[in-house]
Structure 1
């Protein structure tokens, strides 16, 4: 992480420290069932405001595989995240392609959703539109070379997954070789299971 090859995902539930100068993202821990609630999440972020310069994005609350419910939760939180000095991420979930996407309300499109949806045409089109609008695009649950190649091919800028959590000594060299193959600057390891 100190070399900038991989970044860190921090969550309120994980209790992980965010070292100065390390690129990181803040995840809401909804996927792992550990979202602390809006007020607690914002308080946790406020305690890390001195690390905002190294934060790539903060994930607004979401509902897995449900874009309409995700927008209902995220829309009030996106400006509050930005008000703390952090870039805000909207999680793209199943069905977002059929809704009005509030493109100006967020800085990063986080490709979440069901595996089928995430790897399908709707997520590809949303990624292309996000890139056209100058947004960072991140994909969650990327735990194989094939998925990493796919994320890169559709235009994602970063990914996360649990690959390193299971045998980091063995898996880190493999992961670094995949990143060199793609000439990617960063991959975020997720401590609790990817969003």
Structure 2
């Protein structure tokens, strides 16, 4: 699994450059993506970083033109946090425009996404598990993650800030996760996080591809 973080220290930036971590950025962060790093573009709707649709689109277009599409994991279409119906309304028109930049479009699934009526599967490339903690760690989110796998779509989990949550994301089959774990105490938390990721890559399992739930 690839963990996406903010490039806040030289050590974190180095880990991104060598591929141990990925970089996630939003319109108002102003982060410089380290050379060669895998990166993803969040939209800033969760929190206070949303600049409005047109300014977001201008920012995203500039990001892709500056850094190139080849290392972009996804860009999250505008959503409404904790509101599946509102997200469907806001996101759907932007998904083809994101794809037109040559990058994968991510759809933020969240509270209320209990049926496929609110998931435009053909129109997005990455399923982003957003919403409340209870929802994104619950049975509906897990079912949607399994469905995404069957459709050949990668899954990403947002706001992963503990080893327990990281292991749950791994169990759901997430290819990536993001969080603010490195924002506080990065000197201590970076080695710890890299150890967690290494453990996920090397832990023994009784599951084979045929037996994966």
TM-score (norm 1): 0.91
Any conservation in 1 of the 2:17–2:35 contact (CA below 8 Å)? no
Q: Secondary structure at the match of 1:183?
A: helix
Structure 1 residue 99 displacement after superposition: 4.2
Unaligned residue ranges in structure 1 (runs of 5+): 185-195
* Large movers: runs of 4+ above 4 Å: none
1:62 equivalent to 2:104? Answer no
**Matching residue of 1:193:** none
Once the two structures are superposed, residues 18-37 of structure 1 have per-residue CA deviations (whole angstroms, 9 ceiling, x without a partner) of 23311000000111221112
Q: CA RMSD in A?
A: 1.2
Cα distance in 1 for partners of 2:47, 2:74 equals 19
**Matching residue of 2:7:** none
Q: Secondary structure at the match of 2:143?
A: helix
Q: 2:190 aligns with which of 141, 147, 172?
A: 172
Unaligned residue ranges in structure 2 (runs of 5+): 1-15, 203-213
Q: 2:45 aligns with which of 12, 30, 33?
A: 30
Any conservation in 2 of the 1:68–1:99 contact (CA below 8 Å)? no
1:7 equivalent to 2:25? Answer no
Asked which structure has the greater CA Rg, the reply is 2
| 1:103-142 equivalent positions in 2, closer than 5 A | 103-142=121-160
Between the two structures, name the one with larger relative contact order (CA 8 Å, sep ≥ 6).
1
Structure 1 residue 65 displacement after superposition: 1.1
